[in-house]
Amino acid sequence: MTPLVIIGAGGFGREVHDVVEAVNLEEKTAGISRFDFVGFLDDGPVDRDLIADRGPLLGGIDVLAELPLDVEYVIGIGSPTARRRIDELAGHRGAATLIHPTATIGEHRMVIGPGAIICSHVSITTNVTLGRHVHLNLNCTVGHDAILGDYVTVNPGATISGNVTLQDGVNIGTGAAVIQGKTVGAGSTIGAGASVVRDIPPGVTAVGVPARPR
């Protein structure tokens, strides 16, 4: 078993723990448990009642440097900027990749970077590239030949069509859609329910149907 810590003990951190439990349950049918969950790390206030039945709060993120090098980590924090910072702090420590058993992923020319978290009922088709610490939340879809850079977040129910490029640090809001062939520039945020029908420049927030920088 691989010892694992989750960085972030808030709502998404607990959802990530659900993915870990689902992976372990699936593996146990073959007599193997893949992850040995060690605990949570979080610098902020934590509702300990909500994690009491999941595992211990080990302390702040600085505790990661004190753990044995065989302990891997995932980042259960939605902010792409925070994930980049934590990834840099982690140095050469291994980042686990989590894929919920109900996710559907194509078999051909898939690249899934370290630290990626693919939640339940995600659908990814074929020839898709995911960078480091990409988060694909519940029930989102990613079409053929899409490229998602490092620290991208795709929130629940969002639709990424074929041949789309989401550059590093992009955040796609809940229920948003990006039509085929479009590019969303690095660090941009697409609002919930927005529809991206033209390329979006870097570093902006775009909302509406069609999505426009505000």
Which residues are designated catalytic? 144
Judge residue 129's burial from the number of C-beta atoms within 10 Å of its C-beta, 0-12 exposed, 13-18 middle, 19 or more buried.
middle
Say how far apart CA 161 and CA 60 lie, in whole Å: 38
Q: Pairing mode, if any, of strands 189-190 and 72-75?
A: unpaired
Q: 194, 173 in Cβ contact below 8 A?
A: yes
Tokens 């439990």 correspond to what residue? 21
Task: Please tell me the total number of residues recorded for the chain in this structure.
Answer: 214
Q: With H, G, I as helix, E, B as strand and everything else as coil, classify residue 56.
A: coil
Q: With H, G, I as helix, E, B as strand and everything else as coil, classify residue 111.
A: strand
